[in-house]
Chain A
Amino acid sequence: MKPIIKLLLEGGGLTTAQMAQVLKLSEADVNRELDRLKQQRVLLGFRPVLNLALEDAELVRAVIEVRITPERGGGFNRLAERISRFDEVESCYLMSGGYDLLVFVRGSSLQKVAAFVSEKLATIEGVLSTATHFMLRSYKEHGFMLDVPKQENERLKVTP
């Protein structure tokens, strides 16, 4: 793994100036590296990790198990990409086991998510079935515990 990627993963939100210091590069070099990763589509973007339950955000999320018909030549890819393009879809994975795609969707209300499933997703040709599970509560998002405050470091200031 490239040093800059390791730093992105473990550096915990360092600024590019700080990354430059750690990697012994100029800040311009760091930006160039990041641009290159973006061009290579290794680095797709940054998103904040939020606890939206605290923000009264009117957000409903669901996970949908989707069975689809594979196609000659492309397998599952064409349909999976077609489904992924909807704005409602946050993530989409091809799975082993009892269904083919696991689709994470979100909407501003239960009705809107339900409408997306019944009107958009289930009606696509090649989609055999859907099973929708609404999320009731989130405990951990992208490595962050939602309701457990990050503890202040309790190490003594000087120890042998």
Chain B
Amino acid sequence: MDPARHIAKHVVNLPKSGIRDFFEIVAGMKDVISLGIGEPDFDTPWHIREAGIYALEKGKTHYTSNLGLIELRRAISRYVEKNFSISYQPEDEILVTVGVSEALDIACRALINPGDKAMFHQPCYVSYSPSITLTHGVAVPVPTFAKDNFALTDEALRAAWQPGCKLLMLNLPCNPTGGTCDRAQIEAIAKFAVEKDLVVLSDEIYSELTFEGVHTSIASLPGMKERVIFLHGFSKAFAMTGWRIGYACGPAALIEAMMKVHQYSMLCASIISQEAAIEALVRGEDGMKAMRDQYHRRRDFIVRRFNEIGLKCHLPRGSFYAFPSVETTGLNEEDFAIGLLQAEKVAMVPGTAFGENGAGFCRACFATSYEQLIEASNRVEWYVQSLAKKG
């Protein structure tokens, strides 16, 4: 018997993540400088880790409310109000999830009927399209372009829209491009969402890591709160990726629907992570800003280096990713990434791992030490020069 024949068709047809393929190649090599990592290089600040240890000592080892600890939801409510100017009730408008990934998944499962269409900008985080497919929805990618600094434009949205679109997924600042939208652009997206009656899933996981200008949440615009599900978490800003903790805020009816899916699948997020998350929100701001300042300076360095080397790179206004174009080398993104890895042992992720609109680009994460960034940029330079000689 072939066990594989039992796998559901929509799972069989789901493409394997391009990241996974690349990981397999890198994992087999030694002494690689990796700019391919999608998480902070900092460990979680000690006071947050210590709060997790203290929770264990106190015997906090039980289930919590499906929605999450009320103390955490209150802290989230205060944090979101203070930093995003959106007011959510801790009792019924906030749901604590196992990272934003789970929030995204259960939002799709709560909202998408088979055949419903969901728009998302691309290049984008690897799980958007599969989240839609797994709920039998139809993925409608909207391209973003280097010429716009990878902001999502009204023009691209309107060109991609089709009858039957129900959802719009946003990730600003964006992984992998670092693209963001200014307030005027966000207002245009909001207007479009109202006009087409779309629910907006706004994944703002990188919002604290905005280096230029002020981050504007689409949920904070007048009249938008009722159609936006605001997704956020602790992984990036507070360097808490392994804790798997995030949250969704939105209209009570939608949060209730997501909670139904959450309670039957996840029950609740880890109580230890929830306790640590309270500490992060209440006392983590200074540590978070210190990390952001370091990312900021590293970004300025690596982007400048890419441009010096001849890999045209826009300035990412947020996140910890640079997304240089490799077009001038004459190679496509995949050949460039593999050639670079083999010749100089530097790992950058081919842009097409983040969707076909990433063609011609590679993602370089600058959440790594100066020494590594300096060495990596020198090696990229040697590689690009060697290509030019061969040219």
Contact = CB atoms under 8 A, between A and B. Distances in A.
Contacts of B339: none
Contact of A21 (B41, B369, B374): B374
B144 interface: no
A156 interface: yes
B41 A153 contact: yes
A9 to B, nearest CB: 10
Interface stretch (A10-18, A36-44, A60-68, A79-87): A10-18
Given A6-B297, A22-B301, A24-B304, A159 B370 contact: no
A10 B370 CA distance: 9
Interface stretch (B7-15, B20-28, B76-84): B20-28
A129 B377 CA distance: 59
A158 B371 contact: no
Contacts of B353: 160
Interface residues of A, number: 18
B347 A160 contact: no
Given A10-B294, A11-B370, A158 B347 contact: yes
Given A157-B347, A158-B37, A22 B374 contact: yes
Interface residues of B, number: 30
Nearest to B304: A24
Nearest to A23: B301
A115 B41 CA distance: 49
Given A157-B27, A157-B32, A14 B371 contact: yes
A14 to B, nearest CB: 6
B272 interface: no
Contacts of A160: 17, 19, 38, 125-127, 175, 353
B349 interface: yes
Contacts of A24: 304
A155 interface: yes
Given A10-B294, A22-B301, A24-B304, A157 B374 contact: no
10 contacts: A3-B297, A11-B370, A14-B371, A14-B374, A18-B370, A18-B374, A155-B41, A158-B22, A158-B347, A160-B175
Interface of B: 17, 19, 22-23, 26-27, 32, 34, 36-39, 41, 125-127, 175, 294, 297, 301, 304-305, 347, 349, 353, 369-371, 374, 377
